[in-house]
Amino acid sequence: MGFRAFGLMCLAAAMLGCGDGGGEDPSALVNSGLDARPSNIACLAPARSAANAGVETPRAFPNLTFASPVALTQAPGDLSRWFVVEQGGLVSVFEDNPAVAATQKFIDLSGKVNFAGEASLLGLAFHPDFATNGLAYVNYVESVSGTLRSVTSEFASPDGGQTLDPNSERVLLSVGKNPSKHDGGNIAFGPDGFLYIGLGDGGGGDSGKNAQDPRTLLGKMLRIDVDQRPGDAPYGIPDGTSRNPFAGNPLCNANGSGTQSCPEIYALGLRHPWRWSFDRRTGELWLGDVGQGSFAEINLIKRGGNYAGLTDPVAEYRRSFGFAITGGHVYRGKQTSGLAGRYVFGDFNGMIATLAPDGRGGYTVEPLVQPGATPLGAPGPLQISAFGEAEDGELYVLDYGRGHVRQLVFTGSGSDENVPQLLSETGCVNMSAAGAPPLLSLIPFAPNAVLWSDGAVKDRWIGLPNGQNITVPSSGDWDFPNGTVLVKHFRFGNRLVETRLFMRHPDGVWAGYTYQWNAAQTEATRVVGGLTVPVGGQNYTFPSEADCLWCHNEAAGFSLGLETAQLNGTILYPQTGRSANQITTLNAVNVLTPPVGANPPAYASTSDAGETLDARARAYLHVNCSICHRPQGPTPVAMDLRHDTPLPATGTCDMRPTAGDLGIVDARIIAPGDSARSELLARMSRRDANGMPPLASNLPDTDGVALIRAWVDSLDVASCQ
């Protein structure tokens, strides 16, 4: 029986709150918040679909062929035309019509471009206001007196956007480089309105040094403001709250280098960033970086990040699997597919793949077309030089050798289509009641120490399958049976914003799903692939499926906050209107196996001034940091911030940081008695590539920062021994 049908059939029965057939000890119920175990036959995790996804690649414009195409794009808001960048120097424009038989010349720079190897015309970006100002930007490589230079220039349209005038060139950047390798050259405007420029490390013997040296623009992601020209400068540098890491230093545009760290730099440590893109829904910057030796990698680029060993890629694959990665796009089109919200990319060897959540907070590379294979609709393996995203979110691919434009047509449904798209169909929430409380068949819970969620207030419930119990191991970190659903509401004031369902499916796999509430507060719709929206004057992020499993990871036991020491506290039970201790209640209604013994431990509430400073700080680090920073956690840094790990054994106290010192003189991860030298505190206080947590939060926790600062300042060196 389908999940929706089963849930709706059982909804009325579940509302009755019937027990499981008895078994409760009446004497044990005296201090319990529940009179009986609630019967839950509606809010249950469904079986996952076993359907697989695939792709066909028919020619989108069968009558058109291009010479060495490397970029495909549309102008902002204009679905009627396509633009193809050819390496030799020509940008062609044509109608978005499968029957189109001819192209027009948008701009011809063949007289300027040095087309040799990778060096060529490489990138095209339209100003966000192109429809009104007619400005567009290109990146190309030229040869000046035998020296190669990567040039980024602005051009203006003389005829309302039909063409660009080659004589209108305004050079923004000119970066010397040799040899003709590792050019990068992709350019695009971000959702912030600034121009991003990806440059390779230049190749040759000094390429590795270039990528790490902040005094050169090579091997970097750059970000400039083309609408500002302070003094005689050709562009401005983003400053203020979204400042570039080295904003305020002199520009490095004379030859792509300077005596100080270049203010144009947004992120560093890149080798050959061949094609990258912004997720049109979340604004995240996804980049494919061609590897030097053994691996190619995919990075999520963040402001200030260093991607040469300091910031791990989100995924990678060996050169034996693919030799030249081609960055793609997060799919946001309208095809019915389980690939919605997934990153789609390729390789020059013909592979087309997506990133699939691995169930542990990371990703695996999941091919849709195997390396060297011929996709449906193609005459042979593709040479994938670039992906193009239409203004409606559909994806296209350039077949370099044949010069063809092909569309991606997805087949299959992916792996999670059994999960309803509407919250009302999940059987977990009473949509007819004010505030949409979960059904009385669910068990409420509240941890003592609460994870920071950008100021949102959270309500939580357990959907426990009938006849199944929660296992309580000696560690105190609870384990839940297959079919369990953990439900969490997020509110600002009285307004519901988000509801998350964390499900353990019948096959034992945990997966997270999130729902966005409508303005009328009458329904919530599932968000696939994540979303960032303004809420109450701040940016609020709905996590992607992979984001959920980054925090709810295997090392942390998946179900965060459901531990004996976290639930040894009092809450109000809406079924009875009584307040009671959670451990006492769950023992009394016989849902814990084995029952928790007498005098269990309890973590401190971080906001309870009656608790000691040490107890509050260790509880804060446990709930906010140890989900990743623990043995076998999803981070390369060897720290263990679990509550019961003695401070000297955490790998933090009076220890030098191994992932960068953020410019702090004589930095320590935790500098006892000196919070100003403590890298942990500095990372908590920011939200960029060096901030912590690295996802799911857009605002620092000011109260949490104040707590940890006071705690660090209270420590002495003896605390670390």
How would you label 201-239 residue by residue, b for 16+ Cβ within 10 Å and e otherwise? bbbeeebeebbebbbbbbbbbbbbbbeeeeeeebbbbbe
pLDDT at residue number 207: 56
Average pLDDT over residues 325-332: 95
Q: How much of the chain is in helix, strand and coil states, percent to nearest 5? A: 15, 30, 55
Instruction: Taking residues 117-127, report their average pLDDT.
Output: 91
- Last residue of a domain, which of 411, 435, 455? 411
Token code pair at residue 535? 């809420």
Nearest to 163 by CA among 185, 140, 186, 130: 130
Domain identity same for 463 and 376: no
* Most confident of the following: 94-98, 118-122, 173-177, 555-559: 94-98
Same domain, 400 and 356: yes
The secondary element (H helix, E strand) that includes residue 297 is strand 295-301
Phi/psi for 536 (5° steps) reads 55, 40
| Separation between Cα atoms, residue 576 and residue 32, nearest integer Å | 10
Would 607 be classed as within a structural domain?
no
Predicted pLDDT at 599: 93
Q: Is the pLDDT of residue 143 over 70?
A: yes
> Of 610, 647, 609, 604, which is closest to residue 623 (Cα–Cα)?
604
Whole-number pLDDT of residue 177: 78
CA distance 681 to 704: 10
The pLDDT of residue 16 is above 60:
no
Is residue 56 domain-resident?
no
Is 121 part of a structural domain of the chain? yes
**Predicted local distance difference test score (pLDDT) of residue 88:** 94
pLDDT at position 119: 82
Under the banding of pLDDT at 50, 70 and 90, the label for residue 10 is very low
| Per-residue model confidence as pLDDT tens digits over 481-533 | 999 999 999 999 999 999 999 999 998 888 899 999 999 999 999 997 788 99
Q: How confident is the model at residue 413 (pLDDT cuts 50, 70, 90)?
A: low
| pLDDT above 80: residue 46 | yes
Percent of the chain with pLDDT over 70: 91
Range of the domain at 691: 613-720
| Mean pLDDT to the nearest integer, 531-549 | 88
pTM of the model: 0.67
Q: What confidence score (pLDDT) does residue 6 get?
A: 30
Highest mean pLDDT among 531-540, 614-623, 679-688: 614-623
What confidence tens digit (pLDDT) does each residue in 200-227 have? 988 765 556 889 999 999 999 999 999 9
Residues 6+ apart with CB under 8 A from 276: 186, 188, 198, 285, 286, 287, 288, 301, 327
Whose CA is closest to 221, among 134, 311, 325, 295?
311
- Domain harbouring 225, CATH code: 2.120.10.30
Residue 598 lies in a domain: no
pLDDT at 713: 97
Q: Residues 404, 387: one domain?
A: yes
The last residue of one of the domains, among 392, 411, 430, is: 411
Work out how many domains the chain is built from and give that number.
Answer: 3
Tens-place pLDDT, residues 420-479:
999 999 999 999 888 888 889 999 999 999 999 999 999 999 999 999 999 999 999 999
Same domain, 140 and 162: yes
Q: Which residue has the higher pLDDT, 553 or 102?
A: 102
- Asked whether residue 68 falls in the same domain as residue 39, the answer is no
Provide the pLDDT for residue 7.
Answer: 35
Q: Which residue has the tokens 């808001």?
A: 77
**Using the 8-state DSSP alphabet, how is residue 159 labeled?**
S
Residues in the chain, total: 721
Q: Which stretches of 295-394 are DSSP H helices?
A: none
**pLDDT average, residue stretch 679-707:** 91
**Would residue 608 count as lying in a domain?**
no
In a domain, 571, yes or no: yes
pLDDT band at residue 11 using 50, 70 and 90 as cut-offs = very low
The whole-number average pLDDT for the span 584-608 is: 96
Give domain status of residue 553, yes or no. yes
The answer as to whether 59 is a domain residue is: no
pLDDT value of position 4: 34
Tens digits of per-residue pLDDT, 246-295? 999 999 987 788 899 999 999 999 999 999 999 998 889 999 998 765 68
Same-domain check for residues 363 and 497: no
Average pLDDT, the chain: 89
Rounded Cα–Cα distance for residues 58 and 193 (Å): 34
Take residue 171 and report the two structure tokens written for it: 């050079």
Same domain, 290 and 173: yes
pLDDT of residue 22: 37
Q: Are 482 and 45 in contact (CB under 8 A)?
A: yes
- 27 and 71 together in one domain: no
Residue 9's pLDDT is 31
Residues 236 and 149 in one domain: yes
Domain match, 340 and 317 both: yes
Tell me, yes or no, whether 405 and 434 share the same domain. no
Q: What is the pLDDT of residue 179?
A: 60
Distance between CA atoms of residues 198 and 189, nearest Å: 12
Question: Binning pLDDT at 50, 70 and 90, where does residue 356 land?
Answer: confident
**Residues 562 and 427 reside in one and the same domain:** yes
Q: How many CB atoms lie within 10 A of CB 519?
A: 6
Reply yes or no on whether the pLDDT at 416 is more than 60: no
179 preceded by cis ω (within 30°)?
yes
* Residue 235 Cα to chain centre, angstroms: 30
Q: Which of 565, 593, 621 is the last residue of a domain?
A: 593
